[in-house]
Amino acid sequence: MAWKRLKDLDISGSRVLMRVDFNVPLNYSGEIADDTRIRSALPSIEHIVGSGASLVLMSHLGRPGGKKDPSLSMEVVAHKLGELTDYPVKFVDACVGEKVQKEVSDLKPGEMLLLENLRFYPGEKSNNPEFATRLAEWGDIYVNDAFGTAHRAHASTVGAPLHFSKKGAGFLLEKELSVLGSLLKDPERPFVAVLGGVKISGKIKLIENLINVVDRIIIGGAMAFTFFRAAGLETGNSIVDEQYLRMCRKLLDIRDSSGEKKIILPVDCVVADQVEGYSEFRTVSAGDIPEEWVGVDIGEKSVRIFADEISGAGTIFWNGPMGIFENEDFAEGTRGVARAIAGSDARKVVGGGDSVSALQAMHLAESIDHISTGGGASLTMLEGSVLPAVEALSE
Ligand code: ADP
Ligand code: 3PG
Ligand code: MG
């Protein structure tokens, strides 16, 4: 480990600048729909202010595109943070400039100040050196606890830490790196990955890397149809990405030491005459998708086969729903797989995003050993790629 842990930094009496990922979902009226990411940063936050340091917090919220957007102000997050902790929380509606300078100088040990949305400034995403230098002025020690943003090389995650000799990883970042890292290093076997979702382009690198590590990869979601086509099956109007057919054929041929194929595909699927405004849907065998029809979920037989594989696993990693689960008619495959995962004795890790929403909607999240706070970041890590924000912490 080339980086320091927050626990090992001497922070008493200092001013700590910490990058967090408070990019929380907001509902239509602008309220926080899920405060998991804020609560997940509390251990680091309370450790810092509780150690007699003052704390300047910075995060992005949404994608305002480098300019001010009042509907994405961090103020609502400051408010929520104030409800979740007994320590005083201040807010300033800027990230750099005189106003921030004054608030930062007035900050006492045990107090924290949340800056405005970093992405109101174009220099955040472009990792502008001047913007990074100005952010770095707000602390003598830099801590990163923003796992969800660790795959982004931005001013607050990569530019700013270069200015610090004292820096380290917060408790959340440390835990995420340790849990996800252990999947790649010494997983309890059999290790079964369950992958779904819509775009194969975003997950092909993940599959290429995981296939060397896992015992089985179960594939559902729209991604399965590119594999179906690669295997020579009719796919109707289902989503297929022609660009990956050759790669999928290669992957389908990979076998374990006992000669079994590592990739398991659905044997049946739910098809509809169209996705929006469909008038009919039914379950068909994998080879029997009618022309013009669209695959929208995995079928019952597939759920049983997948559940069987899942029940024998020692480690499970799940990312991506098995069908268009936002629609009740096409949610059974995702539900069946979620139930099987929650009910297994394996060590269970779920990547962020829609898979987590599905688990939460079914009240099954409690039975998962680790739910990552990062969708993109967890996938980047399991692809075997370096996380730029973690690299920036090395001394
Ligand atoms: P996650 O957020 O868990 O990483 P993704 O973002 O990759 O998952 O994929 C989620 C999306 O995939 C969902 O919106 C779901 O509707 C869609 N999806 C799953 N199966 C299909 C399918 N057969 N056709 C179209 N979209 C699908
Ligand atoms: C996320 O929610 O995945 C992170 O906060 C990163 O956000 P981004 O995809 O807008 O960079
Ligand atoms: Mg998603």
Do 359 and 267 have their domain in common? yes
- For the chain, which ranges sit under pLDDT 50? none
Mutate to test the pocket of ligand 1, among 268, 354, 372, 382 (most ligand atoms within 8 A of CB): 354
Residues 251, 361, single domain; the answer is yes
338 and 376, same structural domain?
yes
Q: Are 221 and 144 contained in the same domain?
A: no
- The rounded distance, in Å, linking the Cα atoms of 145 and 155 is 15
Question: Do the domain assignments include residue 355?
Answer: yes
Tell me which of 59, 117, 126, 152 to substitute to probe ligand 2's pocket, judged by most ligand atoms within 8 Å of the beta carbon: 152
The predicted structure's pLDDT at residue 1: 63
Q: Is residue 1 part of a domain?
A: no
> 199, 205, 261, 304: which is the annotated catalytic residue?
199
Do 72 and 35 belong together in one domain? Answer: yes
Same domain, 316 and 193: yes
Give the Cα separation of 221 and 128 in Å (integer).
39
Ligand nearest to the CA of 379: 1
Q: Are residues 69 and 94 in the same domain?
A: yes
353 alpha carbon – ligand 1 mean position (Å): 10
Which residue, 148, 173, 198, sits at the end of a domain?
Answer: 173
Indicate whether 66 belongs to any domain: yes
Mutate to test the pocket of ligand 1, among 194, 198, 270, 326 (most ligand atoms within 8 A of CB): 198
Residues 73 and 123 in one domain: yes
Verify that 232 and 90 share a domain, yes or no. no
Report the distance separating Cα 249 and Cα 238, nearest Å.
18
Catalytic (active site) residue 37: yes
CATH value at residue 81? 3.40.50.1260
Asked whether residue 16 is assigned to any structural domain, the reply reads yes
CA distance linking residue 23 with residue 149, whole number of Å: 9
pLDDT digits 0-9 by tens, 215-274 = 999 999 999 999 999 999 999 999 999 999 999 999 999 999 999 999 999 999 999 999
Confidence at residue 61, expressed as pLDDT on a 0 to 100 scale: 98
CA of 223 to the centre of ligand 1 (A): 9
Ligand 1: atom nearest CA of 323 is 20
Neighbouring CB atoms inside 10 A of 346's CB total 22
Q: Is 189 in the pocket of ligand 2 (CB under 6 A)?
A: no
Report the alpha-carbon distance of residue 91 to residue 76 in Å, rounded: 10
Ligand 1 site: residues with CB under 6 angstroms?
A: 196-198, 221-222, 239, 295-296, 319-321, 323-324, 326, 351, 353-355, 375
> Contact 118/154 with Cβ under 8 angstroms?
yes
Domain boundary among 173, 201, 230: 173
- Determine if ligand 2 sits within 6 Å of the CB of residue 117: no
User: Which residue, of 117, 150, 173, is where some domain finishes?
Assistant: 173
pTM to 2 decimal places: 0.94
Domain enclosing residue 246, as ranges: 187-382
If one counts the domains in the chain, the total is: 2
**394 falls within a domain:** no
- The pLDDT mean for the chain works out to 97
Whether residue 203 is found in the same domain as residue 156: no
Q: What percent of the chain has pLDDT over 70?
A: 100
**Token pair listed for 277:** 């405004």
State the distance from the centre of ligand 3 to the C-alpha of 136, rounded, in angstroms. 32
CA distance 144 to 43: 13
Q: Dihedral sign, CA of 6, 8, 9, 11? A: positive
Asked whether residue 157 falls in the same domain as residue 98, the answer is yes
Residue 332 forms part of a structural domain: yes
Per the CB < 8 A criterion, the answer to whether 23 and 37 are in contact is yes
Give the pLDDT confidence score for residue 352 in this predicted structure: 77
Q: Are residues 192 and 162 in the same domain?
A: no
In a domain, 52, yes or no: yes
Q: What are phi and psi of 49, to 5 degrees?
A: -70, -30
Is 22 among the domain residues? yes
